[in-house]
Structures are given as C-alpha cells and as structure tokens.
Amino acid sequence: MVRQHVNPLSRFYQLPRPLPRPAELFAEADLPLHLDIGSARGRFLLALAQQQPHWNHLGLEIRRPLVAAAQADGQALALTNLHYLFCNANVSLAPWLAALPQGLLARVSLQFPDPWFKKKHHKRRVLQPALALALAAAQHNNHELFVQSDVLEVIEPMVEVIEATGCYARPSGDARPWRLNNPLPVATEREQLVLSQNLPVYRVLYRRTMAQPPTLVELQQRLAAPLEQTAEAADNPPSSDAQP
C-alpha cells in the first residue's frame, strides 16, 4: 500500500534528480506543455491527455509507486503526449524549468496538495517561494497557473505566494476570492469526491503578466511584510486616551 504522505525534507527526497528533457519524454516535444505538480495516481492527466492531443502533459509526483502505476497506464494506451516523473519539485524542478525552450510551459496546475497542517510542517508544503519564482521565470505572457484545494488553510498561503511575485493576474471577470468552476475539462479524483459531498472547492486561475520576477530575497521580504505589520500593530495598539 502506498503511503499517503512522505516527508519531502527527508534526506532521500532532498537528493537532486536530473529530469529528462521534453525531447526525451514526448513524440512531439514542441507542443505546448501542461505541467501538473503533485499528479498522484495520474488519472487526471491520463484523461486530459486523451482530450487534448495537441498538448504535452507532464505529471510530477514524489511517491515513486504512484509514478510507476500512472506511467504504465499511459503506455498501455500508447499516449505519446503524456509522461510522469518521480521527483521532489522543490529540489529538482527549477533547473529543468530554466532549461526549457522559451514559451513551452503554457500551463501549470497544482491541485489539492498535501495540507501539512502543523505550522512546523509548513515548509513541507509544495508551493515554496523559490518554486513560485521558477515557474514565473519559465512562463510567458498569458500562460496559465491554476491552483485549487478544499482546505482554506492550504489555498490561502498559495495565493499569497503567487500574488507576492507580482507576475500573475486573475482573468478579468473571475469571481473573487475563488472561481466558481474549474477551467479545465477534467476534474481530479479528489475534486470529484469533495463535490459529491457538497463541500466547497477553492480555485484560482492566474495568467502570467509581463512583469519580471523579483529575487528570492525580495519575494521573502514581501511575504514577511504583512507579518511585520501585524506584529507592529500588536505592539502599538491605538490609544484609548484620544479625546472625542
């Protein structure tokens, strides 16, 4: 049985893994690429690759047995526009993204990631600032980044990191704070389960702007600023001595 969670900070998962180039993964490497980070058992991408044959689809997953099973499903259907790779995205993905041909990464999805609820475990969450910057650097104007979760405590920090980069904007007319529907034609298994129970799904679609990504230090400072402002407000409450 495959473990539901693995610790991405353990020594094994911190080893960098060189990832194959698109030409080694797909029959037509120049097709627009959809990258699904945390693809789990891979059934979402399996269905999407069949519906969208003029896209390449790459799933990344940190649990190796799930990658092997998903890859076998794609091979059984002889899908040449679908591949899955085993890696820790926060360790191995940035160099791969930096080497991509310009404009290839047209869509990124990050759906229902492991929540890691305890504060001390937040550094295990998948969308860390460095990864957000690597994605922004690899995408071009109007390329898409789609995130969703059924846990507010997970989606809100993701939104905070993405918007702090200054590189993404929500499409005009999208409902706020959350989209009402999934912009993709296929729902993940988790999404289907949550909706079948009449529970909410929190979604945001972003499009890459022409803004240049900040440095990692600048992004970390932007993310820390609201915390500093909150701490300052707590240390300096409004005076109760003010005269009417």
Q: What CATH number was assigned to the domain covering residues 24-229?
A: 3.40.50.150
DSSP state of 104: -
**DSSP annotation of 128:** -
Angle, vertex CA 64, rays to CA 78 and CA 100, nearest 5? 65
23 phi, psi to nearest 5 deg? -65, -25
* Residue 57 pLDDT: 98
**Cβ proximity of 203 and 171 under 8 Å:** no
Task: Please identify which of the residues 30, 114, 174, 235 carries the catalytic annotation.
Answer: 114
Cα–Cα distance for residue pair 88/34, rounded to 1 Å: 18
DSSP 8-state class, residue 86: E
pLDDT of residue 152: 93
Amino acid code (one letter) for 170: R
DSSP alpha helix (H) spans, the chain: 22-25, 43-51, 64-76, 89-98, 129-138, 152-164, 189-196, 216-235
3-state helix, strand, coil in the chain (%, to 5): 40, 15, 45
What is the spatial distance between Cα 208 and Cα 16, in angstroms, rounded to a whole number? Answer: 27
CA angle 93, 43, 162 (to 5 degrees): 40
- Give the separation between CA 119 and CA 103, rounded to whole angstroms: 36
**Distance from C-alpha of 170 to C-alpha of 60, rounded to nearest angstrom:** 25
Residuewise pLDDT in 10s, the chain (244 residues): 444 666 655 564 557 788 999 999 999 999 999 999 999 999 999 999 999 999 999 999 988 999 999 999 999 999 999 999 999 888 899 999 999 999 999 999 999 986 544 454 345 566 899 999 999 999 999 999 999 999 999 999 999 999 999 999 999 999 999 999 999 999 999 999 999 999 999 999 999 999 999 999 999 999 998 655 544 544 555 554 444 3
Q: Is 241 marked active-site?
A: no
Express each pLDDT in 164-220 by its tens digit: 999 999 999 999 999 999 999 999 999 999 999 999 999 999 999 999 999 999 999
